[in-house]
Structure 1
């Protein structure tokens, strides 16, 4: 495989930092990775590369607006920022790169964005995988964010995040916890239309020890999508299954993908 880091111009002065992972003989859709609220290309670690190798599919990993070297995002975040990223910015990026068929892989906020994108992109999305996606702020979500805010002030968490986000660290952290703890934002969240529009095979994953979401998040998402969705709870797993148990998550995804989409000649390790 070849790995290339690049800047993609989306027009109007907007650019997105992206990583392309390509095979010499590509076939099938492209895996598209959507990172969490405090995530980035680097914070996926080797998971995109490993899954691309295991499936035989090319991959696209990118930093959303406001992250890495991508253009600034609008702050404070509008209440529909998840929807904007899924229904506007991701399709715009895919169109610019001439990527038609995709498998969306989203974690946390990225999983929520993937739900909007899967509805908006329709038949272009051949399959959907979410990990720890949320469609509303339950009491675990709010407690987890409040606890993280205390850690940010009182521990070395800020220093750890600085390694990945640099001068944007404080801005990103504030943008994240401010919007999710805003009661008006919580009332605004509405995924009903997006879920009803999803028709592709969907794998909805959550760790049974996820400190940011109740199990009902998974069952509600699966029920909202319907018969094409499969809910999976991973034992002894927290908020980031792909980092805690990458081989197990990779095998789940490989087993889930329809045989006509992926080679699946290798097993994650």
Structure 2
């Protein structure tokens, strides 16, 4: 088990890497817009144990225990840049058989990484990811920002992100609520995804409709499955962890080693 800061081409990232199973694939967890390694709780370890896979978690720059972002300003391709960072991290750790499990922004980054670096990605589990901007997404971000400004959410986030909270929230909300981001779309990348894909989404996801799922699985080149969970919102792995765990285990165990 390694737990600490790794320099990835000048970016100091907090990494937690458990290599328990020799010669087995590594499941890489990619957190959401306000997430961190800690906020995954015990889910990654349970999935790793159930599938006999190694597990890698990391905080993106500006999150959790990683070093701060240089600026909160982002361009439309910020998640493509994050996919490049992930590729560099995988190279640094000599991981060439990763199964990506990404939630929300992390799900989108997982899709982009599988598209750009197919030689390193064995499979993708995308949970509540986005491939284009919808009105429901914008509304969800607006409501999250309102909650941040009117409740004790800043203090709760500080527990996990320290003094990086304000910059992190600005980075997320300002780009998603900007006019320039309305045109953001990664559908053109989907045809390059050749590995198996499982797309998990709550039927009542407050940040996206089922169009995100349908348009993704219909455009990738590899095999693709969807798992829609009734009466569940944006964070299935927290709302119904056992259901998500069991379906993820089934998917990973079905992969040809």
- Does the pair score TM above 0.5? yes
Residue from 6, 9, 24 that aligns with 1:8:
6
Offset at 1:123?
2.9
**Cα offset, 1:74, TM superposition:** 4.5
Mapped contact 1:123–1:200 kept (Cα < 8 A): no
SS at match of 1:197: coil
Indicate yes or no: 2:244 matched with 1:244: no
Q: Specify the alignment match of 2:207 in structure 1.
A: 212
**What secondary structure does 1:53 align onto?**
helix
Q: Deviations over 1:19-46 (max 9, x none)?
A: 01221x4232110000000000001111
Retained in 2: the 8 A contact 1:4–1:20? yes
1:127 aligns with 2:123: yes
The answer on whether the counterparts of 2:131 and 2:187 sit within 8 Å (CA) in structure 1 is: no
Sort the Cα spacing of 1:8 and 1:242 in 2 relative to 1 into closer, same or farther, 3 A: same
Counterpart for residue 253 of structure 1: 248
TM-score by length of 2: 0.95
C-alpha contact 1:27 1:57 (8 A) present in aligned 2: no
How far is 1:232 from its partner? 1.4
- Distance in 2 (CA, whole Å) between partners of 1:261 and 1:29 is 11
1:50 matched to 2:16? The reply is no
CA distance in 2: counterparts of 1:74 and 1:215, whole angstroms: 35
Cα separation, 1, equivalents of 2:194 and 2:253: 14
Structure 1 unaligned spans of 5+: 263-269
Trace 1:223-238 onto structure 2 (pairs within 5 A). Answer: 223-226=218-221, 228-238=223-233
Tell me the equivalent position of 1:95: 91
- Residue 199 (structure 1) aligned with residue 194 (structure 2): yes
Structure 2 residue aligned with 1:33: 29
Does the 8 Å CA contact 1:28/1:57 hold for their aligned counterparts?
Answer: yes
Once the 2 structures are TM-superposed, how far is the Cα of residue 161 of structure 1 from its aligned partner?
1.1
Following the alignment from structure 1 to structure 2, what is the Cα–Cα distance between the partners of residues 9 and 165?
A: 19
Contact 2:193 2:222 in 1 (8 A): no
Match of 2:78 among 54, 58, 81: 81
**Distance (whole Å) between structure 2 residues aligned to residue 74 and residue 220 of structure 1:** 34
In structure 1, the partner of 2:16 is 19
Deviating beyond 6 angstroms after TM superposition, the runs of 4 or more aligned structure 1 residues are none
Over the aligned positions, Cα root-mean-square deviation in angstroms equals 1.5
Which moves more between the two structures, 189-198 or 100-109?
Answer: 189-198
Partner of 2:157: 161
- Corresponding residue SS for 2:219: helix
Q: Distance in 1 between matches of 2:222 and 2:193?
A: 11
